[in-house]
A and B are shown apart, each in its own frame.
Chain A
Amino acid sequence: MTKIIRAALVSLIAFTILTGIIYPLAVTGIAQLIFPDQANGSIIVKDGKRVGSTLIGQPFDDSKYFWGRLSATASFPYNAAASSGSNLAESNPVLVDNAKSRIDALMGADPQAPASVPVDLITASGSGLDPHISPAAAEYQVKRVAATRGFEESVVRALVAANIEYRQFGILGEPRVNVLTLNLALDELGQK
């Protein structure tokens, strides 16, 4: 019996050191050496300042910017310190109410927008931090953004096209547009 207790206690220490200290430190060492950008949050730096992460979405409700998914994170939308989905069931009336008020907001910003809104613009993502929208959802907003900024639609559309990420290897995932990098590119265009 004492032999088993000793083994149990020693295994506690041995495995904690091996898998809880040596292993994560080894991974951190390799990661920081080979992939320092990715390991530290894929930060976008502009003029020496951090302006966001390519992987983490930001909230937008100004009509001069493209808007992303809805976000159900606590306190304010796209609160990266508290990732969360809405967890609303398909049958929950609140889900439909949220969708309707988003449609109203989109129509309010652009009364000529088509009545059929792409579904990713009226639903919250699982993380609440989804950085992407579908190309259809970006196209839906091109007119509004171009009109607000006084740009030609074709200019904005070309910018959207340049920011589409296609399926990895042509197969994996879905085509998508990174809302933050697209909006940063828009601002840059405005300054020229």
Chain B
Amino acid sequence: MTTNGLTQIGLFIVVLLAFVKPLGSYMATVYEGKSSGLNLILGPIERLIYRMLGTRPEDEMSWKAYAGAAILFKFCFVLLLYLILRFQGILPLNPQGFPGVSPDLAFNAAVSFITNTNWQSYGGESTMSYLTQMTGLAVQNFVSAAEGMAVLVALIRGFTRRTAKTIGNFWVDLTRSVLYILLPLSLVMAVFLVSQGVVQSFSPYKNVPLLQTIGYERPRVDADGKPVIGADGKQLTEPAKAFEQTLPLGPAASQIAIKQLGTNGGGFFNANSAHPFENPTPLSDLLEMLAILLIPAALCYTFGKMVGDTRQGWALLVVMGILFVPFLTVCYTAEQAGNPLFTAIGVDPAAGNMEGKEVRFGIANSALWAAATTAASNGSVNAMHDSFSPLGGMMPMVLIQLGEVVFGGVGSGLYGMLAFAMVAVFISGLMVGRTPEYLGKKIEAFEMKMVALVILIPAVCVLLGTAVASVTASGVAGVSNPGPHGFSQMLYAFSSAGNNNGSAFGGLSTNTPFYNTSLGIAMLFGRCWVMVPIIAIAGSLAAKKYVNPSAGTLPTHAPLFVFFLAGIIIIVGALTFLPSLALGPIAEHLMLYK
């Protein structure tokens, strides 16, 4: 670790924390329907949307209606996105003339974006038209994030309401999230990003000459365009020369702003935020990293404010912090250590492991981004996780496997964390033989059943998916690195899909019917089967009476509870995933340092 590296990380954390209270209390104002200053401009648009949808803020929904609206909304959007992807070839705003994408890839990409995962089996600049990026993918970045925030707000109402039958109006929560929070932040962020060099243009790609003509080996094809295979079974190549470079353009900045803020993570370009047009400078890097954790962190304060005790929100933020910092530290240390195989051939290890990293960011920013993007369910990358050291790459993987509750997705991270908080009060209640309660609501059998689903279903998706992939030919065929790392690639893929992260060990070839379908199913289960039980808990809690705290009530803002909750999250994660991690990154580390 370097002094400058630690300074940059410290600066990031300080700036992030400075935004928690102002943004958090602003969001509470928005969700409570109070005037927030932006109403003057956006109020008419908000009311117009309600009129078009045929709803009013006073129209309250039961938890079943709320869940039904959320699911139906998803279903409509997945259908629309699938159709855009399939037919982009004949739709406008396609200057590169990309054809419609294959059915399995369209299914995967559509599911991936509606579930806030943004897993990408494709390269943006070589597959997707401007229209697809803009009206298909970027729209999902907004609404899937807004949906997560809406569900969180519904759950918070479950705590604040007493013997109520309803938990709010899905359409209103959704609209307010988009209009008052995501859109203004994205607009400011997008313009900032353009100032640093992120492209924002509808012109076709531009060709520029190379300063030095470069020779390379091109795969040989016959007259029909079929590859020519040599006697050794490998494709033959022929010498060729490259004279020019094609610079991709597009409406990138507008999409990158929301993919960071909405914890979506889907890159406009294949290399995501490692691409110089997606993340050109260290300042753009800092802004994009802040945007990853900004809303998830501030929502903790929103939660505290809405339940009438901001200490409750800070306590959860502290839990996230004490989980985040150790993982970041291990990742940074492991990446700074350098590759031992390089040290053996005389390379100075002090400069760290630079494979898959960009010079302008260096080791500290690459490690910090990796930890932030996987702690939150963002999944964008500014360095290739596949080329991280075994332990450096294991940290992002474990942060994903913890269930995306350390910050987590916008809304979804905090509702996941609240599920764990209910487990923590339940277990501590069992220890002392009292009925557990959280924020004045009794936590009973129904809530615990739903919480069990919330925690177990993503874990099942991850482990079952990895198991199937590692014993089927089509699963193993995608692996690109030998040894235990190959297993890590599959484990990472299903961890990412099942927990809706979206980052990858990118060497795994997943644009195949097997991976597109299996990962798509994992993403759907991982999102919907967490969201619906959470809405059910919201409904059940809202219907309960308020219990006044007594001398025996566990204070859920105190250090004891903070450490207990952090411990529960680690223990559940470790019990579930340690065996599989031993087969992947841990085995690879032991082999590399034997």
Contact = CB atoms under 8 A, between A and B. Distances in A.
Given A31-B194, A85-B387, A167 B282 contact: yes
Given A11-B73, A130-B358, A173-B281, A56 B274 contact: no
Interface in B312-369: 338-342, 345-348, 351-362, 365
B21 interface: no
A120 B359 contact: yes
B390 interface: yes
Interface in B373-395: 381-384, 386-390
A57 B386 CA distance: 22
A56 B356 CA distance: 16
Contacts of B178: 15, 18-19
A93 B145 CA distance: 41
Contacts of B134: 20-21, 24
Contacts of B483: 91
Nearest to A173: B282
Given A173-B362, A174-B359, A130 B386 contact: no
Contacts of B208: 43, 50-53
A26 interface: yes
Contacts of A134: 351, 359
Contacts, number: 379
Interface in A84-132: 84-93, 95-96, 99-100, 103, 115-120, 122-132
Contact of A80 (B200, B247, B386): B247
B334 to A, nearest CB: 10
A9 interface: yes
A115 B7 CA distance: 32
B203 interface: yes
Given A32-B201, A119-B347, A127-B275, A59 B214 contact: yes
Interface in B231-273: 240, 242, 245-249, 251, 253-255, 257-258, 269-271
Nearest to B362: A174
B591 interface: yes
A40 B203 contact: yes
Given A12-B76, A51-B208, A87 B183 contact: no
Contact of A180 (B72, B211, B346, B388): B211
A30 B340 CA distance: 49
A89 B199 contact: no
A69 interface: yes
Nearest to A133: B359
B568 interface: no
Most chain B beta-carbon neighbours within 10 Å: one of A21, A80, A96, A183? A80
Contact of A119 (B49, B211, B274, B342): B342
B254 A41 contact: no
B563 to A, nearest CB: 33
A172 interface: yes
A171 B187 contact: no
Given A24-B251, A81-B205, A58 B68 contact: no
Contacts of B216: 75-77
A38 interface: yes
Contacts of A89: 386-387, 390, 481, 485, 488, 507, 588
Nearest to B334: A90
Contact of A41 (B52, B247, B481): B247
Interface residues of A, number: 106
A120 B362 CA distance: 10
A126 B356 contact: yes
A120 to B, nearest CB: 5
Contacts of B69: 4, 7-8
A27 B253 contact: yes
B4 interface: yes
Interface string B285-306: 1100000000000000000000
Interface string A50-74: 1111111111111001000100000
A75 B4 CA distance: 38
B274 A85 contact: yes
Contacts of B553: none
A180 B294 CA distance: 35
A82 B142 CA distance: 27
A131 B7 CA distance: 25
Interface residues of B, number: 128
Contact of A58 (B245, B246, B285, B357): B245
A12 B139 CA distance: 9
A132 B358 CA distance: 8
Contacts of A23: 138, 183, 186-187, 254
Interface in A132-167: 132-134, 136, 165, 167
Most chain B beta-carbon neighbours within 10 Å: one of A5, A123, A136? A123
B88 to A, nearest CB: 14
Nearest to B131: A20
A51 to B, nearest CB: 7
A183 B210 CA distance: 12
A168 B481 CA distance: 36
A60 B271 contact: no
Contact of A122 (B342, B383, B390, B591): B342
A115 B251 CA distance: 45
A92 B247 CA distance: 31
Contacts of A117: 346-347
B345 A99 contact: yes
Contacts of B65: 4
Contacts of B77: 12
A4 B64 CA distance: 12
8 contacts: A11-B76, A19-B183, A38-B196, A76-B240, A84-B270, A116-B347, A129-B275, A173-B360
Given A59-B210, A118-B348, A119-B338, 11 more contacts: A12-B77, A23-B183, A35-B194, A43-B206, A76-B240, A81-B246, A92-B481, A126-B271, A127-B276, A165-B360, A173-B361
Interface of A: 3-12, 14-16, 18-21, 23-24, 26-28, 30-32, 34-35, 38-43, 49-62, 65, 69, 75-93, 95-96, 99-100, 103, 115-120, 122-134, 136, 165, 167-169, 171-174, 176, 180, 183-184, 187
Q: List the 6 closest pairs (A to B, CB-CB), nearest first.
A: A173-B282, A87-B507, A126-B274, A20-B135, A172-B282, A174-B362
